[in-house]
Amino acid sequence: MQVSFACTDHGLKAPRNGEHSKQNATSPNTTTHARARFRTVALIARSLGSFTHRYHHNLKESTAKLTGMKYRNLGKSGLRVSCLGLGTWVTFGGQISDEVAEQLMTIAYESGVNLFDTAEVYSGGKAEIILGNIIKKKCWRAETERGLNRKHIIEGLRGSLQRMQLEYVDVVFANRTDSNTPMEEIVRAMTQVINQGMAMYWGTSRWSAMEIMEAYSVARQFNLIPPVCEQAEYHLFQREKVETQLPELYHKIGVGVVSWSPLACGIITGKYENGIPESSRAAMKPYQWLREKITSEDGRKQQSKLKELTHIAEKLGCTLPQIAIAWCLRNEGVSSVLLGASNPKQLTENLGAIQVIPKITAGIASEMDHILGNRPHSKRDYHH
């Protein structure tokens, strides 16, 4: 199960001295057991008051005057999230020092980010501890959660809250890897979490559209609380679910999307154009699955397409990662895109994708689709 947390502006302490604010290192096929437990997304919603209009909840999208960050409703709920979030699945407690982790958090926060993703399984819980320590040190306000059967949901969330030094979280995401737990129990447990004040909303992670609809139906049948959002992988080479399955749920029942891996585990950065650099993630032993993916026939075709997309990025005056992230944000059902970064320079570059969004006109999007050749067939166009 996954957890998300956010803070409303009334609980956010003012920054001091000018301060402002997925996968594991193993193959997706080997992370089922770990992901069956918890993931946490922290939302530091200081943006709700100081950066947006007082009546921001009536807007589809608002922009922070000081940073340019855009804020969107989480699905059709009243919760506002920054359109770019920061993920910690690879770096926090792993490849970088606590000092660099704090630098990354600070850059993100000062850029208007209020969504931070972590998990119980990241570095054995160390990522949550690091994240919580930074939030406490900076006097930022936040929330979190976790679990899948009722016991794991309740106890897991309490454990995450304790590590994060928080009283509650705004959003909890349940990762549907435990197919043995009846849907009714999951929905009842998530409703209990909300009723007990440990979270304000709940969402799903890596669920099928059918499972999400089942959860919604169960909630309506027993007068329980339905999910408001789904976490899903979404990038230039992974489009089917977010573009054809989830839009219908967004328009019918208000389920939005928090997408992850916008650069496809680094594949879309362009660094694998001429092979696998020794210092790259794909060169590491735990990432053999990624190395095999890059060197496969499909991987080589993807690199060829990325070369063409690079020309479009240059024409727009941006980088390949920036246009890839901005492309994800064009989808109207996407509330936020979770970013991953291992150094301040990379994070700053990726945050710059916000400025690229208006540059991706219908014509540019069509040109990108032509290069990619993988646009899913759908009944309607769900892009702006």
DSSP string covering 252-321, please? HH--EEEEE-TTTTTGGGSTTTTS--TTSGGGSGGGHHHHHHHHSHHHHHHHHHHHHHHHHHHHHTS-HH
| Angle at CA of residue 373, ends 369 and 376, nearest 5° | 80
DSSP 8-state symbol, 235? B
Q: Are 325 and 359 in contact (CB under 8 A)?
A: no
Q: Which whole-number Å values give the CA distances from 353 to 100, 264, 359, in the listed order?
A: 22, 16, 10
Spatial CA neighbour of 115 closest among 243, 2, 36: 2
Query: What region does 112 belong to: left with phi over 0, alpha with psi -120 to 50, or beta?
Result: left
Query: What region does 147 belong to: left with phi over 0, alpha with psi -120 to 50, or beta?
Result: left
- What six digits make up the tokens of 113? 């980010």
CA–CA distance, 233 with 242 (Å, rounded to integer): 8
CA–CA distance, 166 with 143 (Å, rounded to integer): 6
3-state secondary structure 81-149: EECEEEECCCHHHHHCCHHHHHHHHHHHHHCCCCEEEEECCHHHHHHHHHHHHHHHHHCCCCCCCCCCC
CA–CA distance, 372 with 305 (Å, rounded to integer): 6
The one-letter amino acid code at 180 reads: N
Q: Which residue in the list 109, 122, 216, 250 is annotated as catalytic?
A: 122
CA–CA distance, 38 with 124 (Å, rounded to integer): 11
β partners of residue 202:
172
Q: Which residues contact 12 (CB under 8 A, 6 or more apart)?
A: 44, 45, 46, 49, 140, 141
Task: Tell me whether residue 216 is one of the annotated catalytic residues.
Answer: no
Which residues are tagged catalytic?
Answer: 122
